Amino acid sequence: MNRRVSAYVSRGLAALLGGGLLLASFGLPVTGQPVATEVSSSETAAVKICSGCHTMQIVMDTPKDYDAWHDTVQAMINRGAQGTPDEFDLVMDFLFQDMTTVDVNHADLEALMTVLHASQATAEAIMARRAARPFKDLADLESTEPGLDRAVLDTKKRMIFFQ
């Protein structure tokens, strides 16, 4: 588990959001349908916890940066989000890996690795390249960094920025 997720979970934060289209691709319910009580993945944790109050499509429609997710999660806790610490840990992991935006030209190493699903070597190469010449767009990133998974980039293209 990564450092950021652990820090938020250890402070008692819980997540109450997920992603409908992404979850649908995993064969998980998108609406407030009941799900099994046993949680084994970040996606199923998000469905279990979040669908108690709203549909999963809400998050898919509004990806956010990590700080904005923190604020949203805190608001959901204040409204009574229910789950075990392990489930909240899984949901935070889901949000960070799958629903967090990233500015490739300014993100830290951990964010590049987590959000882009990149190896440490690839994330370090991105940081070295952008220090010399910032990336212009997704095509520039893809052509420069062969270690990135093109399928992941394609599914996340609306969450990847180059400012």
SS3 132: helix
Q: Are residues 140 and 77 in the same domain?
A: no
Give the domain extent around 118: 102-161
pLDDT band at 14 (very low <50, low <70, confident <90, very high): very low
Q: Which of 101, 82, 98 is nearest to 15 (CA)?
A: 82
Q: Are residues 112 and 49 in the same domain?
A: no
Q: Are residues 73 and 112 in the same domain?
A: no
Q: How confident is the model over 30-74, as pLDDT tens digits? A: 444 444 457 779 999 888 888 888 888 987 888 998 888 888 877
Q: Are residues 149 and 86 in the same domain?
A: no
Q: How confident is the model over 73-110, as pLDDT tens digits? A: 778 878 998 888 888 888 888 999 999 999 999 999 99
CA distance linking residue 36 with residue 44, whole number of Å: 9
Q: Are residues 19 and 85 in the same domain?
A: yes
pLDDT of residue 75: 82
Q: Are residues 77 and 11 in the same domain?
A: yes
pLDDT band at 1 (very low <50, low <70, confident <90, very high): low
Q: Are residues 91 and 12 in the same domain?
A: yes
Q: Are residues 18 and 83 in the same domain?
A: yes
Q: Are residues 39 and 84 in the same domain?
A: yes
Q: Which of 67, 158, 59 is nearest to 111 (CA)?
A: 67
**pTM for this structure?**
0.71
Q: Are residues 82 and 108 in the same domain?
A: no
Q: Are residues 14 and 72 in the same domain?
A: yes
Domain end marker among 96, 117, 138:
96
Could you give the number of structural domains in the chain? 2
pLDDT band at 24 (very low <50, low <70, confident <90, very high): very low
Label the pairing between strands 160-161 and 102-103. parallel
Domain end marker among 59, 74, 96:
96
Q: Are residues 84 and 47 in the same domain?
A: yes
Domain end marker among 96, 117, 134:
96
